[in-house]
Amino acid sequence: MKFTRLNSIIFVGLLSIVGVLIMQLLMLNRAYSLEKKDMEDKIHFALQDVVKRIYRDNKTELTITNQIKKITDDYYIVNIDDVFEHQVLEYYLKSEFQKVKLGLDYEYAIYNCGTDEMIYGNYVSDDGKNPEKCENCFPKNEALIYYFGIRFPDLQQKFITSLGQYWIYTGILFFVLIIYVYSVFLLLKQKKYTELQTDFINNMTHEFKTPLSSILIASQYASSQEEIISNPKLAKYMQIIINQSHKLNHHIERILNVAKGDAKWIELDIKEINLKETLELVKENALLKSSKQSTITIEIPTNCIVLADEFHFYNILINIVDNAIKYSGDAPLILIKSNLTSKGVTLSFSDQGTGIANQHLEYVFDKFYRVPRENKKDIEGFGIGLFYVKKIVDLHHWKIKIINNEGPGITVSILIPKKDIVSQKRKYCM
């Protein structure tokens, strides 16, 4: 993996989160160890005091050491090495555990030298619960005679619950790490997708420009031939081919650049444009290109003048009309009209076509997005037409929206604000 700037940022971010998580786990482990030691100390001191009180009651001298032996984390053996009663033992256990504020349930068993068995004593709980006795949890110690075993069944759970805030912080960090990794995955996936888009556009540019260059070269060569020069009609047609090829080349360059998502290069050439005349040109062009029996009705005042970039304005209008024809069956009916409001002029394009499912409406302006169709043959183009339209509308600081009609088809509306309507002509836009 190349260490690009993005990869470096991702790596540093991941390293930081993992580092913090490791520190948190170390703190959690440290806190667990301290909590465990504190609990073991409380148990040991309490049991030591129990032994001392028994010896005091028996009025004997404490001669042995290391009376308390930890067998497991939750099980201890206490060597009394002197006779004692289980009632007295239980009283002392309760008393001493209360002194150290242990707050743990426990159960005990006493070794009976007569039966050579551990005799279960009792389960002691602060909240009065009475679980099943675990008599088999008290193994004998062959080396001892006067001793008892004590077990803390909830000790491990106590360790865990006492570290509640540490578990919460650790869980949050794990969650952040998961979200970060998932976000990085989506980012890299999107980056790869963008690279594929760029490659696609570059390839398409090449595929368009190569045959177009051939057409231009052949047309220019043909226009210099005597047969063409001597025939004014052929010379006119040849010049039209050359001019339109240059225009098409210009269109390809600009539209594909917009499709790449780099609209910063566009510098709008704002001028006064007659809305009705421009739409008439769009209508003529659209009808010539289409083999369908289309009917396009324009209800626009004759002298409505707007401020816009002529080239891009014409392109977005032809895109909208072409789409309306494309998805409107064999005999499209398209109505183009304007409405003067307090905010400006709303230019609407209504058709009676197949419409767009509501769940797809919010995505139709996305780059390369194509509305799924039942018939795959109905899906044409590359999904850049409406993306281009939205880009140009945004650059003009206009508004555009698409809604489904109550009947068949959709309506595309462009709001041209008051600032872009020539003041002296505003009254003619009604």
CB count in 10 Å sphere of residue 353:
20
Q: What is the pLDDT of residue 57?
A: 86
**Do 401 and 382 form a contact (C-beta atoms < 8 A)?**
no
Q: Look at residues 125, 126, 129 and name the one whose alpha carbon lies nearest to residue 108.
A: 125
Residue type, 276: K
- β-bridge pairing 147-151 and 75-79: antiparallel
Sequence ranges of the domains in the chain: 5-161, 188-259, 270-429
Q: What is the pLDDT of residue 373?
A: 63
Q: What is the pLDDT of residue 379?
A: 47
| CATH H-level superfamily of 270-429 | Histidine kinase-like ATPase, C-terminal domain (3.30.565.10)
Query: How many helices (DSSP H) and strands (DSSP E) are in the chain?
Result: 10, 12
Q: What is the pLDDT of residue 87?
A: 86
Q: Look at residues 344, 317, 4 and name the one whose alpha carbon lies nearest to residue 188.
A: 4
Q: How far apart (Å, rounded) are the C-alpha atoms in residues 379 and 352?
A: 18
Q: How far apart (Å, rounded) are the C-alpha atoms in residues 335 and 349?
A: 6
Q: How far apart (Å, rounded) are the C-alpha atoms in residues 257 and 249?
A: 12
As beta bridge partners, residue 340 has 345
Q: What is the pLDDT of residue 346?
A: 92
pTM given for the model? 0.47
Q: What residues in the chain have per-residue pLDDT under 70?
A: 1-4, 6, 63, 128, 135, 162, 197-198, 201-202, 204-206, 250-251, 253-266, 368-369, 372-383, 423-428, 430
Q: What is the pLDDT of residue 142?
A: 81
Q: How far apart (Å, rounded) are the C-alpha atoms in residues 253 and 205?
A: 8
Q: How far apart (Å, rounded) are the C-alpha atoms in residues 407 and 184?
A: 45
| b/e code 390-401 from CB counts within 10 Å (16+ = b) | bbbbebbebebe
Q: How far apart (Å, rounded) are the C-alpha atoms in residues 194 and 191?
A: 5
pLDDT, tens digit (0-9, with 9 covering 90-100), for 327-345: 888 888 999 998 888 888 9
